[in-house]
Amino acid sequence: MKAAILKAPEQIEIEETVTPKPGQDEILIRVRAVGICGSEIHAYDGLHPRRQPPVVLGHEFAGDIVAVGPQVKAYQLEDRVTVMPQNACGKCDPCRHGWTNMCDFKKLLGSTSWPGAFAEFVVASQDTAYRLEPSLNYIHGALVEPLAVGVHAVRQGKVKLGDRVAVLGAGPIGILSMLCAREAGATELIAADLYDFNLAAARRFGADCIVNSTTEALVSKVTAQYGQNAVDVAIIAAGAPALLDQAFEIVRKKGSIVLVAIFNHPVNIDIEKSRLKEQDIIASSTYLHQDYLSALGLLLSKSKKIESIVTHRVPFERIDDTIRMVKHRTEDVIKAIIEY
Ligand SMILES: [Zn+2]
Ligand SMILES: [Zn+2]
């Protein structure tokens, strides 16, 4: 099969490699669509601790089952599936608490121990697979993973009916988190980003107030529009430390701040501002089984809207160019999908 191998930082080569064979309880999937995620850019630069070259990246994907192991009962050939790209051990302390997203021994798709979907075929344990309903296409399937990140973040933040929610960072995760916040009952949504292109998408996803942080001061704009301490929940969906300080200011007393972005470096923040307001600072890391089910459910009713975050659909051969384009943002992009 063909696989796009990250040989060294910033060096991807498409090569002919051995097609993997499914083990006892595994399925072999012919990849049809795979998304490029922010964490892939991180890995592409050689900065992801668990995705070091040489490695085949790609963890947001969907495809067709083309072979099954002898112990696979739940799936058949030609089933269309997506996969949760983390396989928990089920036995460690976090797993026994039900926190499989934080399994001490989890295998990550797109790492050396589980080669990813920037390839023609992927093997996966049947326990990680989710069947796609007939109305969902492969692109929808590839969007389940980032959508589940948003579902989990909104659950972690306990967003409820009538809440005013600020999403700081309107990339794919921020935009999908907005959609989930609205579904959870948020009645007002604020979105901030550096790019008008992303903010226009945030508008389409229901933002009532948008802030371009390169030209507008977030705190004063939000305060002018809604008053002081007016936000119930802020979701930090971009790894910029300044957003934390801004969230401490706009979020109300006893309000919540959800951290979903990846922060690459230790941050310097004025935590006292938050302490005085008794705010909850809540972390959110990937997703659980129930988040995947909710994401699949949301896709059934909102597939057109969710698919609209896809700005680029490109063939497998252009994977390297496309990763570079996303990394350097040489074009306006929200989500790029590779199709096979
Ligand atoms: Zn992802
Ligand atoms: Zn575990």
* DSSP output for 226-250: H-TT-EEEEEE-S--HHHHHHHHHH
Q: What angle do CA 320, 201, 331 make, to 5 degrees?
A: 30
Average pLDDT over residues 80-101: 98
How high is the pLDDT of residue 264? 83
Instruction: Name the average pLDDT for the chain.
Output: 97
Compute the residue count for the chain.
Answer: 340
Q: Give the Å distance between the CA of 36 and the centre of ligand 1.
A: 7
177: pLDDT confidence band, cut at 50, 70 and 90? very high
Tens of pLDDT, residues 194-210: 999 999 999 999 999 99
Q: Give the Å distance between the CA of 336 and the centre of ligand 1.
A: 12
Q: Give the Å distance between the CA of 256 and the centre of ligand 2.
A: 28
Res 260 pLDDT > 90? yes
Q: Give the Å distance between the CA of 277 and the centre of ligand 1.
A: 33
Q: Where are the beta strands (DSSP E) in 183-261?
A: 188-193, 209-212, 231-236, 251-259
Percent of the chain with pLDDT over 90: 96
Res 265 pLDDT > 90? no
How high is the pLDDT of residue 232? 98
Tens of pLDDT, residues 230-242: 999 999 999 999 9
Neighbours of ion ligand 2 (CB under 5 A): 88-89, 92, 95, 103
Query: β-strand 231-236 against 251-259: which pairing, if any?
Result: parallel
Q: Give the Å distance between the CA of 62 and the centre of ligand 2.
A: 25
Tell me which ligand sits closest to the C-alpha of residue 85.
Answer: 1
Instruction: Calculate the CA 189 to chain-centre distance.
Output: 20
Q: Give the Å distance between the CA of 287 and the centre of ligand 2.
A: 14
**H/E stretch holding 283:** strand 280-283
Q: Where are the beta strands (DSSP E) in 154-226?
A: 164-168, 188-193, 209-212
Q: Give the Å distance between the CA of 249 and the centre of ligand 2.
A: 38
Tens of pLDDT, residues 126-161: 999 999 999 999 999 999 999 999 999 999 999 999
Q: Other C-beta atoms within 10 Å of 254: how many?
A: 11
Give SS3 for 2. Answer: strand
CB 233 within 8 A of CB 251: yes
Tokens of 286: 């990937």
Neighbours of ion ligand 1 (CB under 5 A): 37, 60
Tell me which ligand sits closest to the C-alpha of residue 89.
Answer: 2
Tens of pLDDT, residues 280-310: 999 999 999 999 999 999 999 999 999 999 9
Average pLDDT over residues 300-323: 97
How far is the C-alpha of 24 from the C-alpha of 211, rounded, in Å? 52
How far is the C-alpha of 24 from the C-alpha of 168, rounded, in Å? 44
Give SS3 for 17. Answer: coil
Tell me which ligand sits closest to the C-alpha of residue 40.
Answer: 1
- The amino acid occupying position 168 is L
Q: Give the Å distance between the CA of 289 and the centre of ligand 2.
A: 14
Instruction: Give the Å distances, CA to CA, from 252 to 233, 247, 291.
Output: 8, 9, 27
Q: Give the Å distance between the CA of 226 and the centre of ligand 1.
A: 33
CB 90 within 8 A of CB 139: no
Q: Give the Å distance between the CA of 279 and the centre of ligand 1.
A: 28
Tokens of 14: 């498409």
Q: How far apart are the first and last CA of the chain?
A: 12
Give SS3 for 162. Answer: coil
Res 47 pLDDT > 90? no
